[in-house]
Amino acid sequence: MDDEKDILEAFRHILERKGFEVLTALDGAEAIRLVEKEPFPDLIVLDVQMPDMNGYTFMFELYREEKRRNIPVIVVSAFSEMQPIFAHRGIKDYVVKPVNPDELIEKIKKFVNV
């Protein structure tokens, strides 16, 4: 999930070429609608700075339901100093912007088999 459509599409393309099935959302509200449909996603890659519903609010909404608390989340943010806070909130991993696609793919592979 990212609010910049060009970045979102670029990463969707990169991940699909690596064999991942990708759903995208431009904001947190759209992402929640996608997550509410079953089956749940295997993983969520989340940008924290989002319009309307930021990443923090998205995480609160995501984990509101017990059955969604097992979905791993990787946060993408320019704020590397926030990593300890994200870990405390149950976020499984963290990538600092600008994102290196190979680094992101390696982190995703820790949680999702292709």
Domain assignments of the chain as residue spans, ordered by start: 5-109
Q: Which string of b and e fits 2-11 if b means at least 16 CB within 10 Å?
A: bbeeeebeeb
> Per-residue pLDDT tens for 28-48?
888 899 998 878 899 999 888
Check residue 55 and give its pLDDT.
80
Check residue 85 and give its pLDDT.
67
Distances (CA, A) of 85 to 17, 94, 101: 32, 11, 24
Phi and psi at 46, nearest 5°, equal -130, 125
- Asked if CATH classification 3.30.420.40 holds for the domain at 5-109, the reply, yes or no, is no
What's the chain's average pLDDT? 85
Amino acid letter, residue 67: K
> Per-residue pLDDT tens for 69-96?
889 999 888 876 666 666 666 778 888 8
